[in-house]
């Protein structure tokens, strides 16, 4: 498992949660231990991973697993990964 971003927001259906983004093969693993869902869109100035299809995700124990092709990264997240990952 590769850590891509430490400290980003996962957004879905108008709500978001803060955590860390990892990758295993063709899936993203998002860990949000100790954080809670906020019922507003994520701040646009941050690094954001947006889930396009919540029916394709698995969530348990403060972890969300979702296929990479069911997500969109904003420019800040893409640039961060390009620079550091």
Residue 2 and residue 12: Cα distance in Å, rounded?
23
Whole-structure pTM value: 0.91
Give the tens place of pLDDT for each residue, 15-52.
Answer: 999 999 999 999 999 999 888 899 998 888 899 999 99
Angle, vertex CA 12, rays to CA 64 and CA 68, nearest 5: 55
Q: Which domain holds residue 55?
A: 2-84
**Residue 42, helix vs strand vs coil:** coil
Structural contact between residues 46 and 12, judged by C-beta atoms closer than 8 angstroms: no
Query: What's the number of domains the chain is made of?
Result: 1
Give the tens place of pLDDT for each residue, 2-14.
Answer: 999 999 999 998 8
């Amino acid at each position: 498992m590769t850590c891509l971003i430490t400290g980003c927001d996962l957004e879905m259906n108008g709500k978001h949660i803060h955590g860390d983004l990892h990758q295993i093969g063709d899936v993203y693993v998002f860990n949000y231990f100790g954080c809670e869902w906020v019922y507003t869109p994520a701040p646009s100035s941050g690094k954001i991973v947006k889930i396009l299809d919540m029916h394709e995700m698995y969530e348990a124990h403060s972890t969300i697993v979702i296929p990479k092709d069911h997500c969109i990264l904003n420019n800040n997240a893409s640039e961060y990964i390009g620079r550091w990952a």
